[in-house]
Amino acid sequence: MRILNLNNTLHKLSFSYIFNFKKDKAFSVSTILSSLALILGISILITVMSVMNGFREQLVESLSGVNGDITIYDANKDKIKKIQEKNPSISFVENLQSRVITSNENGIEGLLMKSLNKEDIYKIPKINQNIFEIEKNIDNWVFIGVELARSLNLKVGMPIQINIPGNSMTILGPVLNSRQLTIKGIFNTGVYDFDKYFIFSNIDQFKNNTSNKVIDVYLNNKNFDYRDLDGLNYSTWEDQNQTLAQALSTEKNVMFVILFFIVVISSFTIISNQIFFIKEKYKDIILLKALGIKQSKICFIFFLNSFFISFFSIVIGTCLGLLLSTNIDSVENFLSYLLNFELWNNEIRYLTSMPYSIKLNDIVFIVSISLFSSLVASYIPILRIFRIKPNLILR
């Protein structure tokens, strides 16, 4: 019973050190500052990792949702037919790709035109998800992106002039063959480059064009055996965008390392705060030792004090990080307005809005390393308690 009462007394003493602000004003200020440093470090780390994950996922989904998960070149029609029969849920879109130029009084744009069958355009996931079109049968139809329509002030139903480089050459370059098409629809993929520089037209109007004929394969999140493609000339999304995928991965790792040091620096503030606190309670430590209380129990008082502050700082920092991540668009708009500077440029970042993706394993890892660093930071200063010799001081 005496041991239990002693432990309860020590616990009360530890918590009184935390909440007794009137007596220890200096300690309360340093505690608040160290807590704020840890809260901000964890919340920023979680927010940045969530944005990086969301950026990578949405970019990969958007790019593969327009260009296809697999692109087949010079395909054998019989073999493609067998693959289609084996995988009925996978979409195959045959198209001709051409570099074209369009212009009007509002500007000139260089575009990539994909010519395909009308029914195939609805097999492209990112196009089919958000498209506005007129219900009218048109042979010379074309679908354009919302950014191109905004740039050239185009609307559904309006004509658009397409200039295609021909085979004849002059001193100034190839002769351009002009064709006037009617805008049947406008799509919005959410990727700036696709919405600005990609258009889709009727393959019947350009069959005689010397273009690159390919087949885009959309897996639609289905399993696919790549061995079925043996003997075909093809490339996957990862092959086509290998540099981009590596850059995204490297950027995320570098950002994590840089921001992790914020948490480490926050741990240093805990150490300095604890050292300062032990000096403030120097007389209390001598008195407790003189009363015969074990050094381990005295160390536990100060360890509990520091770890309690660190633990709740980590909890608050994690909640703040999740809150910032889920409201990142509002935060970005507020900061852009406050700084009078556009923080998210869709022309540079490809995507029209700032994405986020909260991954449980990232949160668990960040919280784990924060707790570990806090444990170390809470333990190191209490080693000074072992150096205090009450018998020498009392003499």
Q: What is the sign of the dihedral through the CA atoms of 56, 61, 66 and 71?
A: positive
173 pLDDT above the threshold of 70: no
Q: Name 362's Cβ contacts closer than 8 Å, sequence gap at least 6.
A: 46, 49, 50, 53
For residue range 151-171, what is the model confidence (pLDDT) as tens digits? 899 999 899 988 887 666 666
In a domain, 224, yes or no: no
Contact (CB, 8 A) for 315 and 22:
no
Co-location of 263 and 371 in the same domain = yes
In the numeric block, the tokens 């200063």 are attached to: 381
**Tokens in use for 389?**
């010799």
In a domain, 26, yes or no: yes
Q: Which of 180, 203, 218 is the last residue of a domain?
A: 218
Co-location of 183 and 305 in the same domain = no
Lowest mean pLDDT: which of 104-118, 136-150, 339-353, 367-381? 339-353
Co-location of 264 and 319 in the same domain = yes
In a domain, 390, yes or no: yes
Q: Name 225's Cβ contacts closer than 8 Å, sequence gap at least 6.
A: none
The distance in angstroms from the start CA to the end CA of the chain is 34
- E strands of the chain, at which residues? 70-73, 91-104, 107-116, 131-133, 141-145, 159-170, 173-187, 198-202, 212-218, 233-236
Query: 180 or 279, which is more confident?
Result: 180
Co-location of 383 and 282 in the same domain = yes
**Tokens in use for 376?**
């170390």
In a domain, 102, yes or no: yes
Domain enclosing residue 210, as ranges: 91-218
Q: Tell me the percentage of the chain whose pLDDT exceeds 70.
A: 79
**Mean pLDDT over the full length of the chain:** 77
Instruction: Read off the pLDDT of each residue in 66-95 and give the average, rounded to a whole number.
Output: 83
**Tokens in use for 135?**
């219900």
In a domain, 344, yes or no: yes
**How many structural domains does the chain have?**
2
Q: Name 4's Cβ contacts closer than 8 Å, sequence gap at least 6.
A: none
CA distance 388 to 386: 6
Supply the pLDDT for residue 144.
92
For residue range 244-269, what is the model confidence (pLDDT) as tens digits? 777 777 777 777 787 777 777 777 77
Contact (CB, 8 A) for 199 and 152:
no
342 pLDDT above the threshold of 70: no
For residue range 7-25, what is the model confidence (pLDDT) as tens digits? 566 556 555 555 554 554 4
Co-location of 41 and 154 in the same domain = no
CA distance 202 to 75: 21
CA distance 353 to 355: 6
Co-location of 115 and 49 in the same domain = no
279 pLDDT above the threshold of 80: no
Supply the pLDDT for residue 28.
58
Co-location of 270 and 331 in the same domain = yes
Lowest mean pLDDT: which of 14-18, 73-77, 89-93, 236-240? 14-18
CA distance 128 to 189: 9
Co-location of 42 and 123 in the same domain = no
In a domain, 79, yes or no: no
Co-location of 265 and 356 in the same domain = yes
Contact (CB, 8 A) for 159 and 183:
yes
Q: What pTM value is reported for the model?
A: 0.62
CA distance 94 to 71: 10
Supply the pLDDT for residue 375.
80
- How many C-beta atoms lie closer than 10 Å to residue 315's C-beta? 13
Co-location of 212 and 95 in the same domain = yes
**Rounded to whole angstroms, what are the CA distances from 218 to 60, 73, 88?**
13, 15, 11
CA distance 320 to 366: 14
CA distance 248 to 246: 5
Contact (CB, 8 A) for 219 and 97:
no
In a domain, 80, yes or no: no
Co-location of 287 and 197 in the same domain = no
Co-location of 364 and 254 in the same domain = yes
365 pLDDT above the threshold of 50: yes
In a domain, 225, yes or no: no
